[in-house]
Structure 1
Amino acid sequence: MQVSDRFHLWQGLSKRVSDIAAAHRGCLAAAVPEPEPAPPPSDEPCEAAETAARRHAKRLFETVQGYTGTARSLSAIARELGLNRRTVAKYARAACWQECVRRTPPRRSTSLDPYLEYLRQRWEEGEHTATVLHQEIAAKGYRGHYQRVKMAIAPLRRGLPIDTPRERPPSPRQVARWITTTPPRRGLHGTEALRRLLQHCPELDQTHTLVRQFAAMLDARDAAPLPDWLDQLAASGLSALASLANAIREDQLAVVQGITAPFNSGVNEGRITDLKLQKRIMAGRAGVPLLRHRVIVMAHLRRRYP
């Protein structure tokens, strides 16, 4: 009986998701929240204006504090919330959520700073092309790259000051990791960023729905929805998913067994990974006899100290 390995099935799906995210790279910036205007000066520094970072810290503090009254360990809380254990420990030890707010370091000066006022002035005059603005300040002595000018005027397109800092958009690999990760283990930041992205990009939203359907089949060990799921892949209009549907149909019986059967090649994959690790450790400094000796010793130690 041929049985497809569940790990490789999921790995192949994850690779297709990463390809789709890369093809929609222009949508990834939607995962980043719009920067909020600077708060007005206040006479009472303790009553700072509400920002996205402060709301996130407050919500996370209340969530972690809700678990601290139970008998659960910090590691168990971190696994359930999808957070690092150090982060959970920091929020659990804090007396109030204000202690956990990340301090934003002051912005470092760059070679573009002397030209920011000129760029703002030219923008108000109607020049909105980054290439032209870069050529103009290059004639005035600027030696930086065009990409820095393009990033500098990006806030102006959103009606914000030119020096407003902005979070970097996620990479296609990070978006694929958000989509393929079980929702309870994404963490608050990843969940909010993915929600904004899926609202903006219908193709990624469709991909996310299909991925969760396949994950449900693997969790339930139920391959009955597989034919309908393959039809949805083929009709999705996404070439990466359509090619995956064709590949699965060529070996569909083995894939069905991989979903439903209790067997998998995880043990063999672990042995192969360990063999490759031992080979890399030696870095080509010895031949097959030493490699064989190391593998036998490692197998003996595993049996003796499981």
Structure 2
Amino acid sequence: MGLRRVIVRLRVRRYFCDRKSCSHKTFAFAFRKGCTYGTVLVDVEAGRVVDVLPDRTSETFAAWLAEHLGAEIICRDRASAYTKAVKEAAPDALEVADRWHLLQNLSAAVEKTCHQHRDCLRKRAEEETVTEVPDVAPMLLPSAELPRTQIIERTRHRYEDIHHLLEKRWTISAIARRLNLDRKTVRRFRDTDLDELLASARDRRPSGVLGPFKAYLNARFTEAQGQVSGTRLSLEIQARGYRGSRQVVRKHLAALRAGTAEPVRADIPSPRKITSWIVRPRETLTKRQDERLLQVRLACPDITWACDLARAFADLVRHQRGHLLLEWIRQAEQDAPKPMKGFAGFLRQDLDAVTAGLTLPWSSGVVEGHVNRVKTLKRAMYGRASFELLRTRILTQP
């Protein structure tokens, strides 16, 4: 009876919904191994959970809205199921796209752009490495071969398994369940060349403390025709910022003499790191980070254009300038990199809700605290309770 009075009292209030993925690792009501979704409904004015739905389908949410009339504002993430439910069951409600999810989608588009243009960054880094030691010819090492590391072999086998199932006309969801992968991972392996996937796996290998100095050591080794001591080279690179031990330098020289040294890989920042520099407010970057981002911009015009667009959109979000959104979309759709064009097209499809999100003060930030509490309850009840008991515990305020 108490819960019913709460719902009746909240009929004319504003409801916020947020979606959180439920994996078999952390969420108790993942009914089967894979990804299952639940919906948390929160009253923003009271800061209380209104209800918990067992899935994120439009039918379930529409049925809930039909039973609880009077919602004025519904703030949501970018899930299309919620949009469909609102249009069916609460057409007069104002939809507001959550700003955090908009920035998350923007970051994904920028990171994908950086992935696609890593060759530009690698080429510039290699050119700078060659000119770092003047009047010394770089050491001619054999062509780079991918080491047989665990991550590279796993990438190769995963690519073969996914494409083998695709040839049998398996769906993305079926492959994800069979191989215990996320559907986004399956799509990435479907749409990306094997060479690019292997290069990305290779770049995730740590270069070590000696990595940035190997090009200099190789050049000095060639200049001296191998007749140079590790102690002397250690002192030289220490003046350049090396903080490791001399033993590491001696091991690298021994590998050079034996002809077993790996080719020097260009020291370039990862796409995720570049994305963090771009999306963060510029005043929060250190001088070093600002300089490295400048080098990235000089290396690739497409990343530069994506950076400018991302910073302009982040400015719209932070200062709630929704009236400029349509102009931003038009600029992005003209000659921006493909991932940024896709993001702009996604915004156009949801233009009213996104404009409201960049204009009104509402957001789903109030949901996050409740989500953390839900996760705690799920971990405590994992494998020991039904969804109904979990829902009751969530709705029971501490």
Of Structure 1 and Structure 2, the greater strand share is in 2
Counterpart position of 1:103: 243
Matching residue's letter, 2:312: Q
Pair 1:285–1:230, CA change in 2 (3 A): same
User: Structure 1 residue 112: deviation in Å?
Assistant: 7.1
SS in 1 for 2:246: coil
Counterpart position of 1:116: 256
Pair 1:199–1:261, CA change in 2 (3 A): same
Q: Check whether the contact 2:322–2:357 (CA below 8 A) recurs between aligned residues.
A: no
Matching residue's letter, 1:176: T
User: Structure 1 residue 16: deviation in Å?
Assistant: 0.5
Counterpart position of 2:102: 9
User: Structure 1 residue 272: deviation in Å?
Assistant: 2.9
Pair 1:263–1:183, CA change in 2 (3 A): same
Matches of 2:239 and 2:329, distance apart in 1: 44
Question: What is the aligned-residue RMSD (CA, Å)?
Answer: 3.7
Q: Which residue among 292, 314, 318 is the counterpart of 1:219?
A: 318
Q: Check whether the contact 1:31–1:170 (CA below 8 A) recurs between aligned residues.
A: no
Deviations 1:69-115 (A, max 9, x none): xxxxxxxxxxxxxxxxxxxxxxxxxxxxxxxxx73333527987545
Alignment coverage as a number of residue pairs: 205
Matches of 1:6 and 1:50, distance apart in 2: 46
Mapping 1:83-102, distance limit 5 Å: none
SS in 1 for 2:95: coil
Q: Check whether the contact 2:114–2:274 (CA below 8 A) recurs between aligned residues.
A: yes
User: Structure 1 residue 52: deviation in Å?
Assistant: 6.3
Matching residue's letter, 1:103: R
Matches of 2:370 and 2:295, distance apart in 1: 41
Q: Check whether the contact 1:3–1:258 (CA below 8 A) recurs between aligned residues.
A: yes
Matches of 1:200 and 1:189, distance apart in 2: 17
Of Structure 1 and Structure 2, the greater helix share is in 1
User: Structure 1 residue 14: deviation in Å?
Assistant: 0.5
Matches of 1:172 and 1:246, distance apart in 2: 23
What is the TM-score normalised by the length of structure 2?
Answer: 0.44
User: Structure 1 residue 277: deviation in Å?
Assistant: 4.1
User: Structure 1 residue 269: deviation in Å?
Assistant: 3.9
SS in 2 for 1:108: helix
Matches of 2:251 and 2:338, distance apart in 1: 44
Q: Which residue among 304, 310, 330 is the counterpart of 1:231?
A: 330
User: Structure 1 residue 51: deviation in Å?
Assistant: 6.0
Counterpart position of 2:374: 275
The higher relative CO (CA closer than 8 Å, separation ≥ 6) is in 1
Pair 1:243–1:277, CA change in 2 (3 A): farther
Identity value in percent: 28
What is the TM-score normalised by the length of structure 1?
Answer: 0.56
Matching residue's letter, 1:15: A
